[in-house]
Structure 1
Amino acid sequence: MTTGVAISQSTGAVFQPGDLPKVNLSQIINLTDDTGMIQHALFNIPNRKEGYCIDDNARALLLAVLTCKVKKNPAVLALLQVYLSFIHYMQTDNGEFRNFMSYTKICLEERGSEDSFGRTLMALGFLANEGPSNALARTGADIFSRAYRHIDKLVSIRGIANSIIGVCQFIKYNYPDDLKRDLVIDLSNKMVRMYEDNKKDKWHWFEPVLTYDNAILPLALLNAYEITSDESYLLVAFESLDFLEFKVFHNGVLSPIGNQGWLERGHARARFDQQGIDAMAMVLCYQQAFRLTRDKKYLKRMYQSYQWFLGRNDLGLSLYDPSTGGCADGLHSEGINLNQGAESTLAYWISHMVVASSLKE
């Protein structure tokens, strides 16, 4: 067990809670109204023209759960109920979810993407397992259970991966659950097959390209191993994580794959338009790796990933703005995107809360 410290940057030194920026959820509150979280911003002003999406409200729900776990906060508890209510409203009669809603409260599709479905299940799983009250946990579990029957139809690997994490969290809430454990096995076997189909020479990945939210994939198999004890999931998780780490860490500095072209096998990587969700996924993955192994090298990598937001990145610029509590929308070759939208701001604060919780383990 650790003793309230974690590993800092590339030196291996420890860091303390005082090294983290003070909690300032002003931009989270600023982007949230009575309906839910508005997805985009003009600088730090909510861009109501772009409306809402379940992707960000699911991330916001996850943040609220993690924040209440670190320290219960009545204001965050109230926000949690707003995000959960939005997710409930966006669930269709057959249990699926719509993703986008205009500011005028018009749903813009009959069914959202598989990625948004998986992210929503992940957040609901965390709420069921770690929610701040039994009533909220039960509400999350009920919404989750209505969506559950659609999981085995998923094709998108990120939809599958996020769903695996959500189901694993739900199993912890309702342990034991052999049917859901069998589903985790089926979904994880799909991921392993994808990995084996695409692994070639020095390319150890699930697809022929590295794109976005990459660390969610090994994170899913680390969660699956925790539930099933299947060593094959652990092997693929760490082999793929090592490969990803080789591609995105340089001299102890995280440099996520840029979304201006990604990284196709056999080609040069896109360096810029780096996104906060990639740093967040690395933080979550290293947290789970440490939980399973107790190896402090994963704490070190977790903190290095978190430091990307604070200026330990390719340009030496902080994306986190302590004056607003918001986070810039991306790291570009010419600087940072000054808009402080929901996705990036949530990515920062989820990462912050994960690091903060590691100091208590």
Structure 2
Amino acid sequence: MSAPARYERFPAPSFAHLRRLTDAGGLYEHARGTTPRREHGYCVDDVARALVVVCREDASAQDDLREQYLSFVLAAQDADGRFRNRRGTDLRFLDAPSVDDCWGRALWALGTAGADPRALAAFERGARWRSPSPRATAFAVLGAGEVLRGRPGHRGALDLLADAPEVIGRSVPRPEWPWPEPRLTYANAVLPEALLVAGAALDAPALVTDGLWLLGWLLDAQTRDGHLSLVPAAGRRPSDRGPGFDQQPIEAAALADACARAHELTGQDRWLTGILLATAWFLGDNDAGTPLHDPVSGGGCDGLERDGRNENQGAESTLALVSTLQQAAARLPAPALRVAG
């Protein structure tokens, strides 16, 4: 397994643009080019993702970001355990507590930061809830899996995992469309990854088998002519023929994370190929032949268009890039270039 010939080495993740988007209030959701759009404020969805990626770093250089993002997520939690998502620059939360994606992503982040007693206690409050959303549930499962790495018998995490497969869905007996939903939407690979996490933790081989099957199908369905051709922002139905555009970096990052999980469980090189394809997608091996990685800013561009890319470098896209490069650095044999940031 090696990088494509045109990439002698993959770049290492840079935190320079993430720091540019961060201030004392949180992580700005949107940017115009590389300039934060302060008028749009902050959201837990992005800050939680940011907490996950900084917790993956061993270096103390990101400790300040870890503390800042954790404090934001803790502040977003209601006393009953649910989470508010949107926060204005006046530091007031603007919406009601829910068990939507922000709840799931917050639990993912808190589980990842679970060595901190504050994070674990907040995870435990939030994990008492259940969401009807497959993706919110899947994000929460990832957090529960992280808690169980350090605390294998944690009751709240195990109970959440036990309830999750019914909400997430399982493969269906249609070879042409085994996906448990009528269309592919966003962050699709988190669903099979959650099945892998649940199956491994609960000693349920059928869940692992289902997760591997769905992930393999999803990877094949999004590979065209040797590169990733991702589900566009509008989604994809069984009858759709690609490529579709406004492809989103979150799709590549979700695939890289899920393939890393599958490789951890199986040791099979097929899943390293998935991480390789996701990383190469950011570097220009995609339907438009356009890099979404900005080596100057360290940021990630907001979408792949038919004739190029969206030049804005918001939080979600930058975090997707950082996350994918982290998986490449951790799993691919080709060494990563260390870059400033």
The alignment's TM-score, normalised by the length of structure 1, stands at 0.87
Q: Which amino acid aligns with 2:60?
A: N
Q: Deviations over 1:97-116 (max 9, x none)?
A: 10001122231111246111
For 1:33 and 1:186, how far apart are their aligned partners in 2?
Answer: 38
Q: Please name the residue that 1:3 is paired with.
A: none
* Secondary structure of 1:208's aligned partner: coil
Matching residue within 257, 277, 282 for 2:231:
257
For 1:246 and 1:357, how far apart are their aligned partners in 2?
Answer: 23
Deviates more, 1:35-44 or 1:297-306: 297-306
Q: Give % identity.
A: 31
* Secondary structure of 2:244's aligned partner: coil
**1:281 to 2:260 alignment:** no
**Compared CA separation, residues 221 and 229, structure 1 to 2 (3 A):** same
Query: Shift in Å at residue 356 of structure 1?
Result: 1.1
Q: Deviations over 1:221-269 (max 9, x none)?
A: 111122122111112112211221221011220111011x311233445
Matching residue within 296, 300, 303 for 1:323:
296
**1:171 to 2:148 alignment:** yes
Q: Please name the residue that 1:139 is paired with.
A: 118
Query: Shift in Å at residue 139 of structure 1?
Result: 1.9
Deviates more, 1:87-96 or 1:277-286: 87-96
Q: Please name the residue that 1:94 is paired with.
A: 80
For 1:24 and 1:73, how far apart are their aligned partners in 2?
Answer: 14
Q: Which amino acid aligns with 2:3?
A: S
Q: Deviations over 1:146-193 (max 9, x none)?
A: 21111xx311000111111111211222222355324312212433xx
Structure number with higher helix proportion: 1
Q: Which amino acid aligns with 1:257?
A: V
**1:122 to 2:108 alignment:** yes
For 2:69 and 2:56, how far apart are their aligned partners in 1?
Answer: 14
For 2:276 and 2:88, how far apart are their aligned partners in 1?
Answer: 37
For 2:275 and 2:307, how far apart are their aligned partners in 1?
Answer: 27
Query: Shift in Å at residue 346 of structure 1?
Result: 0.5
Q: Please name the residue that 1:104 is paired with.
A: 90
**1:239 to 2:225 alignment:** no
* Secondary structure of 2:320's aligned partner: helix
**1:272 to 2:272 alignment:** no
* Secondary structure of 1:336's aligned partner: strand
Taking the TM superposition and a 5 Å limit, the aligned residue runs for 1:1-361 are 6-9=1-4, 19-68=9-58, 72-74=59-61, 76-112=62-98, 114-128=100-114, 134=115, 137-150=116-129, 153-178=130-155, 180-191=157-168, 194-195=169-170, 199-259=173-233, 261-268=234-241, 271-358=244-331
2:276–2:332: 8 Å Cα contact kept in structure 1?
A: no
**Compared CA separation, residues 101 and 292, structure 1 to 2 (3 A):** same
For 1:66 and 1:315, how far apart are their aligned partners in 2?
Answer: 31
* Secondary structure of 1:262's aligned partner: coil
Q: Which amino acid aligns with 1:147?
A: G
Query: Shift in Å at residue 318 of structure 1?
Result: 0.6
* Large movers: runs of 4+ above 4 Å: none
1:164–1:188: 8 Å Cα contact kept in structure 2?
A: no
Q: Please name the residue that 1:131 is paired with.
A: none
1:58–1:87: 8 Å Cα contact kept in structure 2?
A: yes
For 1:120 and 1:27, how far apart are their aligned partners in 2?
Answer: 22
For 2:175 and 2:239, how far apart are their aligned partners in 1?
Answer: 11
Please give the root-mean-square deviation of Cα atoms over the aligned residues, in Å. Answer: 2.1
For 2:156 and 2:107, how far apart are their aligned partners in 1?
Answer: 17
For 1:324 and 1:169, how far apart are their aligned partners in 2?
Answer: 31
Q: Deviations over 1:10-39 (max 9, x none)?
A: x8x9x8xx7121443211100000121011
**Compared CA separation, residues 356 and 339, structure 1 to 2 (3 A):** same
Query: Shift in Å at residue 66 of structure 1?
Result: 1.1
The alignment's TM-score, normalised by the length of structure 2, stands at 0.92
Unaligned stretches of 5+ residues in structure 2:
336-341
For 2:218 and 2:64, how far apart are their aligned partners in 1?
Answer: 38
